């Protein structure tokens, strides 16, 4: 050791240079001002802390001239806190894309200017009718201008994209927009796509709104198999609650039914207190006299393929109903029987395919003739032509989607790999650990002792890997791990000796433990903190936070408390019922929860967290399937917002190496792994792999990008192919050494807090839903 570095000499020099007294006083002041809570609740404890701190600060001065002190940390935290507070307190800006605010209900007024019932400009509004534009002058002079028809947000907010499309389709059909003077349609979606909800939405809108600023219909009838009557009633209740009172006729005496039906038919206009009648086919047929005695705005026939035969009693009874708007539901595909086809279309849109005789002459005969075994080429072509014509016509009034459409209706997902710079403290500890004799011994021993053909990787290297991963997450976690090992050793247990790293921490670092979060100590944590602040301030998005370690989730909790974010945390021990409850609450757009914390180990398989559309994977998992699972929590059926995935990696560290293994096909083929076997993976490294794993790449913006040998970035302006998506190789992702080409505006703002590189890609190109 150089004489000048000997502690006693250093201490003397220090004493000459400055007075310890000043430093001590400022330290005490600092602790005091940050400890208000403690002083109040536990004066004795705070006293003690003060006293130990005094001694330890002297020690730390004597021995470690270059050391960052706790008050440095606190000072840095304060300036960081100021920055975060500034973000959160900025005056509100024009919301970003994806922002969905609250809507304002506009009531219909009997007098005064016409207004739509709901705000067509509201985010996520489903507009069924858009009136021709009108200027302010006309609005004053013309009293009868048309208004927007906008689906009640209460329903609109629960409709999936394909359901919105379905509702719009049916609306256009029953209001005669699609085909002039025809007011019917066939809704033939497969099971599971929510035909019922789409129909309820249509009914509710027709009962309340119209382009003329009044209800389009005053009552509707739903005819269903008797087994489904109750189901319809419950569904209406579920979605509309007390907004409407449906009349379900499900048995009872003939007199009673007659009385109820009579009053239903006779009341008209706004006086209808039960504007929706749900009735079985059988009961309908038995009471046709009453049901045919009045006009009905809309009739919906569930399991409508019962109406495939024009000759049967039910068909005749229903067809005589005085309702021009008719919707027929059918989950089973309509058979290739042309006559059935004709019957169904004829019920909803009479005359669309001509009379029965015309239909036979124009479509049925030529089509059948073309299919005949001895048909000429000419017959065949003519048959095909007529069939195509028929399909084209029927498709104008029929909508059918299969359940595999759900995936293509998902909004775009942007996946982003974000490399975050280590802090100076992290880098110092990391370097020292890698250069230590202890690590060299770990590698040597493990390789020597391990059995099996694969060679390396054992318990000790597992400890080393865990230590580095925790250090990347936060030096606070690394510190805790050092202390735990120290305690274990003191109790005579077998544990790694990490004490030599303690010198990087101020002696009184312990005073920060447990109580406070120090986002500035960890590169990733600082990015996360800033990211959350911007998301919180500029959007109303919710966030799912995923980490491998429960200790990291503990840190997140502290962060949330420090920033006043409402959060929930899924616990592995939680009962299914409790899980369901917190998930439901979180997904509720009205709930105040901002963050959902999830341990990647606890699974969360099957969890539906569509209330959030941003997900942060704070640390990489060895198993790509785990990360994929996590992302599927938010990007799934029912998600309406664009999704942003942030995969945070500490630049140049073991995290990048883990990520590379994950993306490497080799990783998949050589270690077939499932959820519970991460430790197994970590045990199966060869010596050279271990050495690679334990190398810190210092002079890089992204080790992962370096390893790609990217040709794209060598040519200025070169972009990945437009149709590339995030399941493709990283070589066709967007590579961003700076923030210019980011698509996520939030990440752009966070960049300067220490992001060194970003690679991003989208899931698919968004197709507009008509
Ligand atoms: Zn590149």
List per-block mean pLDDT (blocks of 10 residues) for the chain, which spans 770 residues: 49 45 41 40 41 42 56 85 86 55 44 82 92 82 87 92 93 94 90 84 95 92 88 89 89 88 85 88 92 94 86 91 94 66 92 92 89 85 89 89 65 94 96 89 66 49 89 94 91 85 84 75 96 96 93 94 93 73 90 91 67 95 74 80 95 94 50 36 65 90 93 87 85 94 95 97 70
Kindly give the distance from the C-alpha atom of residue 697 to the centroid of ligand 1, in angstroms, as a whole number.
18
User: How far is Cα 532 from Cα 554, in angstroms, rounded to an integer?
Assistant: 16
The torsion angles phi and psi of 580, rounded to 5 degrees, stand at -55, -40
User: Which DSSP state fits 598?
Assistant: E
* Å from CA of 647 to ligand 1 middle: 18
Among candidates 691, 703, 696, 697, which has minimal Cα distance to 461? 691
Distance of CA 718 from the midpoint of ligand 1 (Å): 9
Q: Separation of 712 CA from ligand 1 center, angstroms?
A: 5
220 and 207 Cβ atoms separated by less than 8 Å = yes
Measured distance between the N- and C-terminal CA atoms of the chain, rounded to whole angstroms: 76
Token look-up 């301030």 returns 537
Going from the Cα of 708 to the center of ligand 1, the distance in angstroms, rounded, reads: 7
Ligand 1 mean position, distance from CA 710 (Å): 5
Contact predicate 755/703, CB 8 Å: no
Specify the length of the chain in residues.
770
Q: How far is the CA of 532 from the centre of ligand 1 (A)?
A: 28
Determine the distance separating the centroid of ligand 1 and the alpha carbon of 700, expressed in angstroms.
13
Q: Is the dihedral of CA 96, 98, 102, 107 positive or negative?
A: positive
Rounded (5°) CA angle 568-572-575: 85
Ligand 1 centroid to 711 CA: how many Å? 7
Q: In what order do the strands lie in the sheet with 398-399?
A: 246-249, 276-280, 220-224, 298-301, 325-329, 184-187, 398-399
Q: 738 CA to middle of ligand 1, Å? A: 12
Residues 60, 67: contact at Cβ < 8 Å? yes
Ligand 1 center from residue 742 Cα (angstroms): 14
Distances (CA, A) of 410 to 170, 361, 577, 586, 645: 22, 44, 28, 20, 15
How remote is the CA of residue 761 from the centroid of ligand 1, in Å?
13
pLDDT score at 474: 95
517-to-298, 552, 568, 697 alpha-carbon distances in Å:
61, 11, 18, 27
Q: Which residues of 687-704 are buried (b: 16+ CB within 10 A; e: fewer)?
A: bebbeebbebbeebbbbb
CA 686 / ligand 1 centre spacing (Å): 29
Q: Which two tokens stand for residue 658?
A: 């883990």
**Tokens matching residue 193:** 């796509």
Cα 60 to ligand 1 centre (Å)? 45
Distance 705 CA to ligand 1 centre (A): 6
C-alpha 287: how far from chain center: 49
- Report the separation in Å between the CA atom of 384 and the middle of ligand 1, taken as the mean of its atom positions: 52
Segment holding 85, helix H or strand E = helix 70-89
Distance from Cα 425 to the centre of ligand 1, integer Å = 29
CA 743 to ligand 1 centroid distance, Å: 16
Structure token digits, residue 412: 């775009």
Angle (deg, nearest 10), helices 424-434 and 437-449: 50
Q: Residue 569 Cα, ligand 1 centroid: separation in angstroms? A: 37
Look at strands 298-301 and 325-329 and give their pairing.
parallel
**CA 80 to centroid of ligand 1, rounded, Å:** 32
Residues 6+ apart with CB under 8 A from 713: 705, 735, 737
Residue for token digits 């009693």? 313
CA-CA distance, 565 to 542, in Å (whole number)? 11
CA atoms within 13 A on the CB side of 499: 7
Q: How far is the CA of 616 from the centre of ligand 1 (A)?
A: 23
CB 602 within 8 Å of CB 570:
yes
Ligand 1 mean position, distance from CA 739 (Å): 14
CA of 717 to the centre of ligand 1 (A): 11
Query: Which spans in 710-751 are helix H?
Result: 745-750
Please tell me the predicted confidence (pLDDT) of residue 541: 96
744 CA to middle of ligand 1, Å? 19
**pLDDT value of residue 32:** 38
Ligand 1 midpoint to CA 706 (Å): 8
DSSP secondary-structure letter at 360? I
Cβ proximity of 246 and 274 under 8 Å: yes
What spacing in Å lies between the alpha carbon of 704 and ligand 1's midpoint? 10
Cα–ligand 1 centroid distance for 757 (angstroms): 10
| Residues contacting 350, CB < 8 A, separation 6+ | none
From the CA atom positions of the chain, what is the Rg in Å?
34
Distance 748 CA to ligand 1 centre (A): 19
For residue 689, the CA-to-ligand 1 centroid distance in Å is 24
Give the Å distance between the CA of 656 and the centre of ligand 1. 16
CA–centroid distance, 89 to ligand 1, in Å, is 37
CA of 328 relative to ligand 1 center, distance in Å: 54
User: Contact, 369 vs 375, CB < 8 A?
Assistant: yes
Integer angstrom CA distances of residue 249 from 260, 270, 594, 620, 692: 9, 22, 44, 57, 73
Ligand 1 centroid to Cα of residue 473, in Å, is 26
213-237 residues labelled b (16+ CB within 10 A) or e (exposed): bbbbbbbbbbbbeeebbeebbebbe
The Å distance, Cα 669 to ligand 1 centre, comes to 26
d(CA 415, CA 419): 13
CA of 731 to the centre of ligand 1 (A): 7
Ligand 1 mean position, distance from CA 713 (Å)? 4
- Residue 720 Cα to ligand 1 midpoint, Å, equals 9
CA 542 to chain centroid, in Å, comes to 8
The residue assigned the tokens 């066709």 is 732
730 Cα–ligand 1 center, Å: 9
CA of 709 to the centre of ligand 1 (A): 8
- Predicted structure pTM score: 0.53
Distance 434 CA to ligand 1 centre (A): 29
């Amino acid at each position: 050791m150089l004489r000048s570095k000997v502690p006693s000499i250093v201490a003397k020099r220090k004493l000459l240079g400055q007075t310890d007294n000043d430093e001590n006083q400022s330290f005490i002041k600092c602790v005091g001002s940050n400890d208000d809570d403690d002083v109040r609740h536990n004066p004795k404890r705070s006293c003690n802390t003060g006293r130990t701190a005094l001694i330890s600060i002297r020690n730390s001065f004597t021995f470690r001239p270059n050391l960052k002190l706790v008050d440095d940390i606190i000072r840095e935290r304060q300036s960081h806190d100021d920055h975060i507070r500034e973000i959160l307190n900025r005056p509100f800006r024009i919301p970003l894309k994806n922002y969905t605010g609250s809507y304002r209900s506009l009531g219909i007024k009997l007098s005064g200017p016409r207004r739509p019932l709901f705000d067509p400009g509201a985010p996520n509004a489903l507009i069924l009718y858009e009136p021709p534009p009108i200027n302010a002058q006309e609005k004053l002079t013309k009293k009868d201008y048309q208004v927007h028809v906008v689906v009640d947000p209460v329903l609109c907010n629960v409709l999936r994209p394909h359901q919105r499309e379905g509702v719009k389709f049916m609306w256009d059909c029953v209001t005669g927009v699609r085909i002039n003077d025809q007011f019917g349609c066939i809704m033939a979606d497969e099971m599971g796509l929510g035909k019922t909800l789409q129909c309820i939405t249509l009914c509710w809108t027709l009962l309340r709104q119209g382009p003329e600023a009044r209800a389009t219909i005053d009552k509707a009838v739903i005819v269903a198999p008797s087994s489904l009557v109750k189901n319809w009633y419950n569904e209406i209740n579920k979605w509309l609650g007390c907004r409407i009172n449906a009349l379900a006729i499900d048995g009872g005496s003939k007199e009673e039914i007659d009385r109820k039906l009579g009053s239903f038919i006779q009341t008209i206009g706004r006086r209808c207190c039960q504007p929706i009648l749900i009735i079985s086919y059988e009961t309908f047929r038995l009471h046709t006299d009453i049901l045919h005695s009045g006009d009905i705005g809309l009739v919906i026939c569930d399991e409508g393929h019962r109406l495939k035969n024009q000759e049967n009693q039910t068909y005749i009874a229903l067809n005589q109903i005085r309702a021009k708007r008719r919707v027929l539901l059918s989950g089973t595909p309509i058979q290739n029987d042309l006559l059935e086809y004709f019957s169904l279309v004829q019920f909803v849109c009479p005359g669309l395919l001509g009379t029965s005789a015309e239909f036979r002459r124009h479509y049925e005969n030529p089509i059948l003739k073309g299919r005949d075994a001895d048909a000429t080429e000419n017959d065949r072509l003519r048959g095909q032509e007529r069939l195509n014509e028929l399909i084209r016509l029927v498709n104008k009034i029929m909508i059918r989607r299969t359940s595999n459409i759900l995936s293509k209706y998902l909004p775009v997902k942007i996946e982003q790999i974000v490399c975050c710079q280590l802090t100076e403290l992290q880098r110092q500890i990391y370097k020292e650990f890698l250069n230590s004799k202890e690590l060299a011994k770990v590698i040597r021993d493990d390789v020597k002792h391990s059995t099996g053909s694969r060679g390396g990787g054992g318990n000790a290297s597992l400890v080393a890997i865990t230590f580095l991963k925790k250090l990347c997450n936060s030096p606070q976690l690394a510190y805790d791990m050092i202390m735990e090992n120290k305690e274990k050793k003191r109790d005579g247990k077998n544990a790694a000796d990490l004490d030599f790293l303690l010198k990087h921490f101020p002696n009184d670092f312990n005073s920060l433990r447990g109580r406070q979060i120090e986002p500035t100590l960890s590169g990733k944590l600082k990015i996360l903190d800033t990211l959350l602040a911007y998301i919180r301030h500029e959007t109303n998005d919710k966030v799912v936070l995923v980490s491998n370690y429960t200790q990291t989730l503990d840190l997140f909790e502290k962060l949330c408390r420090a920033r006043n974010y409402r959060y929930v945390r899924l616990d592995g021990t939680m009962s299914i019922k409790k899980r369901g409850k917190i998930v439901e609450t979180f997904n509720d757009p009205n709930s105040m929860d901002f963050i959902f914390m999830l341990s990647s180990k606890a699974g969360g398989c099957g969890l539906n967290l569509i209330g959030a559309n941003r997900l942060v994977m704070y640390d990489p998992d060895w198993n790509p399937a785990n990360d994929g699972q996590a992302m599927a929590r938010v990007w799934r059926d029912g998600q309406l917002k664009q999704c942003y995935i942030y995969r945070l990696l500490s630049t140049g560290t073991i995290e990048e190496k883990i990520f590379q293994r994950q993306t490497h096909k080799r990783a998949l083929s050589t270690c077939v792994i499932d959820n519970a076997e991460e430790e197994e993976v970590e045990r199966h490294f060869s010596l050279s792999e271990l050495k690679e794993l334990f190398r810190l790449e210092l002079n890089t913006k992204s080790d992962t990008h370096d390893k790609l040998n990217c040709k794209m970035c060598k040519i200025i302006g070169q972009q990945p192919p437009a149709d590339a998506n995030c399941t493709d190789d990283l070589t066709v992702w967007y590579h961003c050494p700076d923030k210019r080409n980011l698509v996520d505006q939030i990440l752009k703002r966070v960049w300067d807090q220490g992001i060194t590189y970003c690679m991003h890609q989208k899931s698919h190109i968004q197709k507009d839903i008509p």
